[in-house]
Amino acid sequence: MDTKVWEIYIDQLKDRDTREKLDEIRTAFTYGEVVGIPTETVYGLAGDARNSEAIHKIFSAKGRPGDNPLIVHIHSMEQLEDFTEPLDPKVQSLMNHFWPGPISFILPLKGSMLAGNTVAELDSVAVRMPSHPVGHAILEHVGFPLAAPSANLSGKPSPTDYRHVIDDLNRKVYGVVESDPATYGLESTVLDCTQYPYRVARPGSITKEALENVLKETVDRHVSDSEKPISPGMKYKHYAPRQPLAVIEGGLKNNTHIEADDDKKIGIIAPENCRGFIPEGSYFISLCSSDENYREAARNLYAALRRMDKSDVDLIYIHGFPKNDETEALMNRIYKAAGDEVIKDDHL
């Protein structure tokens, strides 16, 4: 049976029939089903975080490794009291500043309310409060915490539009909410608050510098991928199209190694203002208007990778952006998509 689709756009939240749809979605979660829901980062594949069978369905649908913990989504701070230890005042200040929004906090787990497979049997849990109006409304209407990794096949580019969810998971999950696409386009920043100083377990739209500006103290950079994962996105190859992908380190403008190949069709993902450096005959996807528009590039990255995945190209090159605080999350995802395959800048 095809995956059920509920249409709920932001401007429909007050419509009379939206309440009926929210009731249906809540009933699905209550019976242990999983549903693709919108957030401001990427689409999530959500299930009752307390129900081990629902969580098993998430892992099964995605083909996700069982030692990769899930992020629990809530709609209010009060919900934390049910499954986390009391908050450090510094964590509270960060939540007050950035929530709802694209950041998850790893906190000490309390009690046994959450299913063990939700947290991969760890003694900590990652929690976030989405700001997408429809995603937030679903969480509020449901009333209990939902575990939700990205709603894609494990290892593939994350979904930023409900159609991406259908492409990957039709007939594998009960339902998906058709809604406004993600505005950030990259998964949330994950901050590990179970140790001190706090450390970024996964970079995202909220940067290390932004966190330090609120805390007025240093935050450690993200941990090695070789460690036991305490957060999604730490250990396994992610976000990859089916074709080989390499990063043009330093950017397309500075590189002369990319040439047309009669035997292989080349795909290139780069900013629009790099179009003049594309070898003739290549398939080009514009990532953003200019190589300084990092936010636009982040928002469009996964959609571009998905388009390339569906194309007839044999190999893909992607523009590498300069490494700084603003591009850390973007380049983290690009390098993971490429499996760290890099073509060096001629000027290095």
The CATH homologous superfamily of the domain defined by 4-215: DHBP synthase (3.90.870.10)
How far is it, in rounded angstroms, from Cα 213 to Cα 144?
32
Q: Known binding site: residues?
A: 41, 64, 68, 73, 128, 148, 150, 158, 188, 202, 239
Q: Known binding site for ATP: residues?
A: 64, 150, 158, 202, 239
Average pLDDT (289-299) is 95
pLDDT for 114 beyond 50: yes
What is the predicted pLDDT for the residue at 347? 41
User: 230 falls in which pLDDT band (50, 70, 90)?
Assistant: low
pTM of the model: 0.93
How far is it, in rounded angstroms, from Cα 273 to Cα 288?
9
Q: Which fold has domain 245-343?
A: Rossmann fold (3.40.50)
The residue type found at 179 is S
Residues paired with residue 146 on neighbouring β-strands, in sequence order: 48, 73
For 316-332, how does the pLDDT look when each residue is reduced to its tens digit (9 = 90+)?
Answer: 999 999 999 999 999 99
What is the predicted pLDDT for the residue at 221? 86
Would you give the DSSP letter of residue 220? B
Q: Known binding site for L-threonine: residues?
A: 41, 68, 73, 128, 148, 188
**Domain residue spans of the chain:** 4-215, 245-343
How far is it, in rounded angstroms, from Cα 172 to Cα 324?
39
Residue partners of 31: CB distance under 8 A and separation at least 6: none
Give the number of other CB atoms < 10 A from CB of residue 340.
Answer: 12
How far is it, in rounded angstroms, from Cα 176 to Cα 165?
8
User: 343 falls in which pLDDT band (50, 70, 90)?
Assistant: confident
